[in-house]
A = this chain, B = another copy of it.
Amino acid sequence: MSEKIDVLGIGNAIMDVISPVSDAFLSDNDIEKGGMTLIDEARALDLNQKFSNIGSPQEIAGGSAANTIVGISQLGVRSAYVGKVANDKTGNRFAAGLKEAGVKYATKPLVGQDATARCLIAVTPDGERSMNTFLGASVKFAPGDIIKSQIEAARIIYLEGYLFDQEPAKRAFVKASEIAQAAGKTVSLTLSDLFCVDRHRESFKHLINHHVDILFANEAELLSLYETDNFDAAIKALRKDCKIACVTRSEKGSVIIEGNDMHTISVASARSVTDTTGAGDQYAAGVLAGHVQGMDWKSAGYLGSICAAEVISHYGARPETSIHGLIVSATD
């Protein structure tokens, strides 16, 4: 990884397993709708089997930051990824998937311990995602997996808040931030999840204050971070804590805080919502790719909005536009 790259993502390396389900499936299996629940290996295998019984679940090399990094690569921007899989078939497919998407990936796999992580994503008819995550090998990610030359080769590093759920990974994360800062690089962070923010509020605040240049969060995560139910109050606090903050607000679009300015960005499409999985990840991809290409923050936000709009129009966390019925039979 000696050649220059633009954005390097660091996150939980997780194979996404995605299935459409009924609301009854959620209650029958005690799955919390719309949330992200950590599960153990036995539960992961059980849900995976149930997904297979329903039909053919999709398997995509994922994890939040990996999805963002693949999106960035698809926008023509040089990208790399750092995250831990096991030395098993799923881990090999994860590595192959990233490489096929044009992402540089060279983290050494874990040997002889936990299996590669997987996230079982149940998507209900209303488009909401309910995630059940077995962290497996991904959380054996440790400071030793952070290679100084890899970090220094990147213009921007992009950190996934989910990593804060484990102490060694958190230390790896801080190490990467410090290397990037010392080299004059840009540090960006996504808060990842409402419950993740709740579990690590003070650590996040400290990181944002001391290390983060560009923050990504959705409205709920932001309100949780500052323990308020007032959006304006949260924005006011945010202005003091970081230079650039990109806050997504579902159907209200997003805002980007740039010093004293606030750029308001509307939702970029009237497309139907099929599956909101990965909307935030692809929003971040568009914003970071646009920024790397020299766009101002308002324009980069619009590109983020386009990328988010595309991904919610179909199942799965990666770009895959459909033609929406415009292809019809070629005979009269």
Contacts and interface: CB of A to CB of B under 8 A. Distances in A.
A302 B293 contact: yes
Interface in A288-304: 290, 293-296, 298-299, 302-303
Given A100-B325, A295-B302, A323-B316, A269 B330 contact: no
A58 B327 CA distance: 6
A264 to B, nearest CB: 11
Given A76-B266, A101-B324, A321-B319, A57 B330 contact: yes
B318 A76 contact: no
Interface string A84-101: 000011100100010011
Contacts of A194: none
A303 B303 contact: yes
Chain A interface residue bracket vs B: 35 or more
Given A316-B323, A321-B320, A330-B59, A305 B100 contact: no
Interface in A303-332: 303, 305-306, 309-310, 316, 318-332
B100 A326 contact: yes
A48 interface: yes
A182 interface: no
A327 B60 contact: yes
A26 interface: no
A52 interface: yes
Contacts of A88: 332
A7 to B, nearest CB: 15
A216 interface: no
B268 A75 contact: yes
A159 interface: no
Interface-central residue, A268, A294, A322, A331, by most chain B CB under 10 Å: A331
A111 B267 CA distance: 40
A160 B2 CA distance: 47
Contacts of A270: 76, 102
A51 interface: yes
A17 interface: yes
Nearest to A307: B306
A50 to B, nearest CB: 12
Contact of A306 (B75, B266, B267, B320): B75
A131 interface: no
Contacts of A52: 330-331
A128 B290 CA distance: 30
Contact of A330 (B48, B100, B320, B326): B48
A299 B295 contact: yes
Given A76-B267, A290-B302, A293-B299, 10 more contacts: A51-B330, A60-B326, A60-B327, A61-B326, A89-B332, A101-B326, A290-B299, A293-B302, A303-B303, A320-B323
Interface of A: 17, 48, 51-52, 56-61, 70, 74-76, 88-90, 93, 97, 100-102, 266-271, 290, 293-296, 298-299, 302-303, 305-306, 309-310, 316, 318-332
